[in-house]
């Protein structure tokens, strides 16, 4: 830190030069904490939680969404507002094919088109089918239901998924936690390697007492980046025992998905994806799905859930403390090198995605091929 103080460098962030130690307001750093990315897929719910013939309400990106699965097993998503007199459709009845509004009994199919208005008499003509509540594109990928938010539905981007699984058989478990902060702050924490030994200092993980210098090769890919496959440092019990046979690759994709998989002697044995979904401006849902490639071992799900919940709960506890400070709108220093560089990339990616959508042009990944070094 002393060398940085004596010779402050300049970093360009979104076209603006900032001193390494210059504190900046939220508005100066690419709209940090201020808006959500559109024309994107967001994780909604684990597939197994959405039963056939059932529906559930959910707020996503500040919008009321009705998630459901029809009697044939197909997932759907509608705007959870009846266009008649603004009552939540989720308070009504779903028969597996149509949702009936609880106010006047209007029925809507899973595409959002009105099918029936009970108050109409047999001789009263009315264009019922022209009445609609908005619907959202839905995809199911590796046990997760994803919802697309955006106006451009002609060329949908790829749905993020956990890497390294291919056609392998696997078991899986999804853990869900709520973070009381904007998705931007959650994303910065998700991709930040420097906090790990201080926050995730469980007996079975690493400690701040054993800081080591790390060197990782990052390459731009898709709408994010990938840290090229490497042998992990021996910072946990498992890695200390089997580290020389294990390789790790992790990556990030917009809007807020950290992905990782580990191989043992060249075969993937565990993979995961952490997905951030904004609920509103001050709340973000974190869904982490763990996959393990030992079929028939679903019985260990409670054990997996325990360790993941403890691990992510440590992040949640910090987010709660962070939320109390963010209320005061402090100036921040988000661009410390090199551990903070992925955070700067996230802000550039977010801005470039928004600019490319607005300007109706192809997205240009702004992340450079880089070697990053830090201690953790």
Residue pLDDT, tens place only, 294-330: 989 999 999 999 999 999 999 999 999 999 999 998 8
Q: Where does the pLDDT of residue 149 fall: very low under 50, low under 70, confident under 90, or very high at 90 and above?
A: very high
Residue 126 lies in a domain: yes
Going by C-alpha positions, the residue among 165, 138, 11, 158 that lies closest to residue 74 is 138
CATH code (residue 230) = 3.90.380.10
The per-residue pLDDT for 20 is: 45
Q: Of 234 and 130, which is predicted with more confidence?
A: 130
Q: Hey, what are 312's tokens?
A: 């992510």
Q: Is the pLDDT of residue 255 over 90?
A: yes
Q: List the Cα angle 316/174/45 in 5-degree steps.
A: 95
Question: To the nearest whole number, what is the mean pLDDT of the chain?
Answer: 88
Distance CA 174, CA 144 (A): 9
Do residues 143 and 172 both lie within one domain? no
- Checking 80-88 for CB contacts under 8 A at 24+ apart, the result is 81/133, 82/106, 82/108, 82/133, 83/114, 83/131, 83/132, 83/133, 84/131, 88/57, 88/64
- Contact between residue 369 and residue 220 where contact means Cβ atoms under 8 Å apart: yes
Contacts of 99 (CB under 8 A, 6+ apart): 55, 66, 68, 78, 89, 92, 93, 107, 108, 110
Going by C-alpha positions, the residue among 341, 88, 81, 41 that lies closest to residue 216 is 341
Q: Where does the pLDDT of residue 5 fall: very low under 50, low under 70, confident under 90, or very high at 90 and above?
A: very low
User: pLDDT per residue over 202-249, tens digit each?
Assistant: 665 555 567 888 899 999 999 999 999 888 765 555 555 555 788 999
Residue 32 lies in a domain: no
CATH code (residue 115) = 2.102.10.10
The per-residue pLDDT for 17 is: 44
Do residues 189 and 76 both lie within one domain? no
Q: Is the pLDDT of residue 50 over 50?
A: yes
Residue 138 lies in a domain: yes
Domain count, the chain: 2
The per-residue pLDDT for 154 is: 82
Contacts of 319 (CB under 8 A, 6+ apart): 179, 180, 181, 185, 186, 189
Do residues 79 and 222 both lie within one domain? no
Domain end point (choices 116, 149, 182): 149
The per-residue pLDDT for 120 is: 94
Domain that holds residue 230: 2-26+160-375
Do residues 217 and 90 both lie within one domain? no
Residue 38 lies in a domain: no
Do residues 198 and 83 both lie within one domain? no
The per-residue pLDDT for 239 is: 55
Residue 154 lies in a domain: no
Do residues 165 and 127 both lie within one domain? no
Residue 299 lies in a domain: yes
The sign one gets for the Cα dihedral 236, 237, 238, 242 is positive
Do residues 77 and 169 both lie within one domain? no
Do residues 142 and 278 both lie within one domain? no
Q: Is the pLDDT of residue 1 over 80?
A: no
The per-residue pLDDT for 18 is: 44
- Contact between residue 282 and residue 323 where contact means Cβ atoms under 8 Å apart: yes
User: pLDDT per residue over 351-372, tens digit each?
Assistant: 999 999 999 999 999 999 999 9
Q: Of 258 and 153, which is predicted with more confidence?
A: 258
The per-residue pLDDT for 269 is: 94
Q: Where does the pLDDT of residue 27 fall: very low under 50, low under 70, confident under 90, or very high at 90 and above?
A: very low
Residue 37 lies in a domain: no
Domain end point (choices 125, 149, 173): 149
264 half-sphere exposure, CB direction, 13 A CA radius = 11
Domain end point (choices 120, 149, 178): 149
User: pLDDT per residue over 80-101, tens digit each?
Assistant: 999 999 999 999 999 999 999 9
Do residues 121 and 178 both lie within one domain? no
Do residues 348 and 234 both lie within one domain? yes
β partners of residue 272: 260, 290
Do residues 110 and 166 both lie within one domain? no
Do residues 170 and 311 both lie within one domain? yes
Residue 310 lies in a domain: yes
The per-residue pLDDT for 22 is: 43
Q: Hey, what are 93's tokens?
A: 């009845």
């Amino acid at each position: 830190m002393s060398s940085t103080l004596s010779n402050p460098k300049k970093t360009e962030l979104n076209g603006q030069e900032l001193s390494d130690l210059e504190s900046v307001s939220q508005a100066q750093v690419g709209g940090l904490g201020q808006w959500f990315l559109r024309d994107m897929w967001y994780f909604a719910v684990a597939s197994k939680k959405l039963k056939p013939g059932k529906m559930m309400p959910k707020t996503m990106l500040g919008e009321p969404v009705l998630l459901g699965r029809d009697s044939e097993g197909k997932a759907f998503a509608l705007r959870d507002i009846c266009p008649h007199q603004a009552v939540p459709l989720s308070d009504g009845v779903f028969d597996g094919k149509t949702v009936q509004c609880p106010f006047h009994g209007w029925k809507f199919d899973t595409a959002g088109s009105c099918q029936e208005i009970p108050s109409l008499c047999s001789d009263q003509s009315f264009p019922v089918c022209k009445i609609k509540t908005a619907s959202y594109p839905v995809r199911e990928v590796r046990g997760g239901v994803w919802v697309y938010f955006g106006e451009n539905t002609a060329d949908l981007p790829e749905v993020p998924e956990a890497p390294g699984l291919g056609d392998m058989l696997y078991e899986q478990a999804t853990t869900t936690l709520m973070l009381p902060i904007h998705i931007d702050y959650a994303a910065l924490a998700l991709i930040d390697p420097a906090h790990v030994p201080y926050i995730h200092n469980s007996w079975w993980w690493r400690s701040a007492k054993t800081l080591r210098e790390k060197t990782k090769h990052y390459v731009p890919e898709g709408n994010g980046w990938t840290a090229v496959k490497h042998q992990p440092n021996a910072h946990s019990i498992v890695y200390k025992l089997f580290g020389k046979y294990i390789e790790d690759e992790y990556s990030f994709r917009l809007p807020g998905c950290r992905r990782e998989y580990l191989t043992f002697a060249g075969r993937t044995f565990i993979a995961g994806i952490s997905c951030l979904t904004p609920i509103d401006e001050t709340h973000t849902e974190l869904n982490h799905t763990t996959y393990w490639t030992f079929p028939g071992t679903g019985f260990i799900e409670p054990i997996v859930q325990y360790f993941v919940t403890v691990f992510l709960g440590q992040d949640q506890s910090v987010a709660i403390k962070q939320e109390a400070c963010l209320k005061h709108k402090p100036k921040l220093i988000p661009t410390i090198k090199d551990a903070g560089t992925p955070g700067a990339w996230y802000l550039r990616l977010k801005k470039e995605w928004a600019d490319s959508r607005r300007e109706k042009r192809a997205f240009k990944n702004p992340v450079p091929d880089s070697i990053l070094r830090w201690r953790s």
